[in-house]
Structure 1
Amino acid sequence: MQVRPHVVATDLDGTLLRPDKSLSARTAAALDAFHARGGQVLLVTGRPVRWLPAVYAQLREPVPAVCANGAVVYDPQTDTVLRADPLAPEIMAEVARRLRAEVPDVVFAVEVDDGRSMRHTADWPSHWNSEHPSALLVTDPAELLTSPAVKLLVRSSYTDDPDVFVRIVAGALAGLAEATHSSKSGLVEISAAGVTKAAGLAWLCARLGVTADDVVAFGDMPNDVPMLTWAGRAVAVANAHPAVREIADAVTASNADDGVAVYLEGLLAEAERATPEAS
């Protein structure tokens, strides 16, 4: 008997992965057991495609992924982008104009080439990924906005509170694009209008022939809210942002305590009890 729901759609950082970015043996075993009962696992992440290999190396086999907060749907088996919905250069130029008027010291970076590379200027705060070979330094800020980007990244010294900053950014954009956040560092992530984790996941599920009722989704941050609202069953990890916990149907253990595995083990136990004994 196939386990219900049929699809697990899970965020990565802060949800499926432990704080050190590792996938625990317990979680890997739970995903394998879910797959063995006929279930499908999908990754739904703010990460770009270029950050997925470290996760795939810890899975039994690569699984489809919705990346860049819904802007990219990726098939790792063929290394193919099935769908991309980037911000157009003219939209990014208007976003930049509005944000510079609202927050004068705002700085930008972009995820381009369907999320296979990043571009940033010298004033972009240095983080571990800024030194990666796929992160390209450009000297002219205008050059950041000349190619379609699956995600526009925004930082400012105005505030290090991402909840405050995302409200400022979203207010300035006023429907021009989507603004959300998935970290606690003050970074705001901007996508094309209508692009969310929910939209990307809905497209992929339609391709797979499943509906929202077939999906249990796991998340921890505000960028997960659209996906959790869309899915038939929404589960927050215990370390989730208050906005996520508020809309979740259930709360499991934290990512440090293998919350996704804990919940899946319960689903699998239910499926086992529901399986008629062989006569």
Structure 2
Amino acid sequence: MIDQRYTTFLILTKTKSYTKTAKKLFITQPAVTQQVKSLEKELQLKLVEYHQPHLKITERGEKLASFVNNITNQQEEFINYLKNPDLQKEIVFGATKSVAIFMVPKVIEEFSHDFDKINCTVTNTERILSMIDDGKLDFAILEGNFNKQVYSYYPMQRERFVCVANADNELTKMAKIDINQLLNQTLILRENGSGTRCILYNWLKSLNLSFSDFNQVISFNEPTGIIELIKKNVGISFMYESLALQEIANGNLQEIKLSGMDIFRTMNLVYSRNNYFANYFNHLFCD
């Protein structure tokens, strides 16, 4: 369906090499060069800058590649839809780890009434967005930051971002504390690429602070594992309130009330830009 020149250009943007692109397409290197030049001539746009041995995709070239990638990923799904418009039996989506605990079980329960196959991938924000880019996910439920110019999205629910500690931690007994009173604590963090880690990093940065200002820092990529560490009084952490509500209700955890910390984030349904199935995805959650 898509002009071969666009496919060739898309692969070139990923390999950054005419030789590697030619090998992937089983054509000659001059053929790759000719197709790209033909595309540039037709569009009257400079897509590639080549200063041996470095190849650089121009800003407009990157935008074109993103559009072509989006169309390519939707092509097979769209054809299947045309063949069987009433048979939407399988859905593949992603979710970040925090969301997977307090939102996804209910989502899967609702999907189970309409789909024969449900596949949910749980990983961090960075990886989820990469999978959307590669066409491996229909959509994702994200709590982390993402480029709203690159992806389409539908707001789902707002979540409060809080600091939590073991209920025996003396700081939980105080009406309000300053962030500097927290720095002698052990901070338990999510891994690099996590949305919650990014939120905390940016908030601390606005206060001219960093993770290294804490007494000790522990990184752990599982939210449930972090909660268990807090219950053992190993340290304190920052997370969405819904993630800690059950343990707070059980009396195991308590919020540390920090001055100047009033952070809310929207959980978003996220999918590729200009997705043909956007209305369908939104419809799944707005009823």
TM-score range, shorter chain: under 0.3
**What is the TM-score of this pair, normalised by structure 1?**
0.27
Greater helix share, structure number: 2
